Amino acid sequence: MDFDLNESQRMIRDLARDFAQGEIAPLAAAIDESGAFPMATVKKMGALGLLGLTTDEAYGGVGADAVTYVLAVIEISRACASHGVIMSVQNSLVNYGLEKFGTDAQKRDWLQPLASGQKIGAYSLTEPQSGSDAGNMKTTAVRDGDHYVVNGRKSWVTSGPVADTVLLFCTLDPKGGHNQTMCLLVDTALPGFSRGKTEPKLGIRASATCELTFDDCRVPVDARLGDEGGGFKIAMSILDKGRIGIASQAIGIAQAAYVLSVQYAKDRSAFGKPIAEHQAIQFMLADMHARIEASRLLTLRAAAMMDRGEKHSLEASMAKLYASESAQFVTDRAIQIHGGMGYSKECAVERHFRDARITTIYEGTSEIQRLVISRELLRRAQAD
């Protein structure tokens, strides 16, 4: 598949790279240590259009294609995986869902401030007892006149501690399964909405994550996204793009660790020569590079299919599965190449190793990706 980039794609990729290396990379280690949400640089990302990259210009976005989005997320994630996931959630899970399923009024009132970066959004599907099993959610919405009364608790909400808007998935009937799921746009200033403590995490520590609680929270009916009972299909459609975003994040993390490893292998000497001249190190670098490039091609293919309006659930899942597991592989080898230095917090590969781990878990675990992939392959085989 030909991925010769056009001028617009190269320009946005280079803009993201320059911003990431100039403004994000210098503070990445410090915010990883402190866990502080990088609001100042996130707002700058919004001003540059990076938080509304694929949103239509009519709603405050840039109107770029999905391939451009992949390129930009890779560059941001190379500098800091926390910024990468903040960008991915805003673009893939929040803005995309609103643009695809929202009414004209919802796009005007909700999407525009999100796409321009004036507001921060979050996507809330997971609950304490239901992660991969999304049909088992317990957060309920009961119709009361022109409002829904929402009660329940959501967990592991990325950007939850700072979000102005939440795409909330809840159920009309906890015993009704997928067909009773609904999506609501929740203004976090509403009474009955509260946030739990910010979670202390292994990696992506500057990406704020928390529980959300709804206690008789009254959400207007006109804030419903799509139809009653249509929430599960909305959630799964949104996750297809989300998986492309996480695959891109994983590539960025792996690329950063690989570049550091090549440089260290050239600089570090053992047994009278640079370790880059030892075959054991050369083989590790070869495997790392091959996996990164395979991940990149899988992800760009899924993005290109999305741009053409083709069904891409299989391709997005393959990209997410392979890129995330490759990020773990690459960052593990990066630490091995660096030796004892790689185990030190003073070395960036230690941070990349921790950041890579989450990519196999959120927005669909590796096990869920394998389930999606195998079901689609068997369906196609049966059709043939």
Is pLDDT at 45 greater than 90 in this prediction? Answer: yes
* pLDDT for the residue numbered 28: 98
Pairing label, strands 269-270, 121-124: unpaired
* pLDDT for the residue numbered 40: 97
pTM of the model: 0.96
Does 363 qualify as catalytic in the annotation? yes
* pLDDT for the residue numbered 303: 97
DSSP letter for 108, please. Answer: I
* pLDDT for the residue numbered 370: 98
| Lowest model confidence (mean pLDDT) among 2-6, 101-105, 250-254 | 2-6
Across the range 316-335, mean pLDDT stands at: 98
Q: Check 75, 127, 211, 363 and give the catalytic one.
A: 363
CATH 3.80.30.20 describes domain 232-383: no
Question: CA-to-CA distance for 16 and 13, rounded, in angstroms?
Answer: 5
Confidence of residue 90 (pLDDT cuts 50, 70, 90): very high
Q: Which fold has domain 122-229?
A: Butyryl-CoA Dehydrogenase, subunit A; domain 2 (2.40.110)
* pLDDT for the residue numbered 177: 80
Look at residues 351, 296, 295 and name the one whose alpha carbon lies nearest to residue 27.
351
The 10s digit of each residue's pLDDT in 157-167 is 999 999 999 99
Q: Percent of the chain having pLDDT more than 90?
A: 93
* pLDDT for the residue numbered 378: 95
* pLDDT for the residue numbered 1: 55
* pLDDT for the residue numbered 2: 59
The 10s digit of each residue's pLDDT in 326-357 is 999 999 999 999 999 999 999 999 999 999 99
Question: CA-to-CA distance for 16 and 228, rounded, in angstroms?
Answer: 39
Average pLDDT, the chain: 96
Q: Where are the domains of the chain?
A: 7-120, 122-229, 232-383
Is the distance from CB of 111 to CB of 139 less than 8 angstroms? no
Per-residue burial over 347-382, b = 16 or more CB atoms within 10 Å of its CB, e = otherwise = bbbbbbbbbbbbbbbbbbbbebbeebbeebeeeeee
Q: Percent of the chain having pLDDT more than 70?
A: 99
* pLDDT for the residue numbered 176: 79
CATH of domain 7-120: 1.10.540.10
* pLDDT for the residue numbered 156: 96
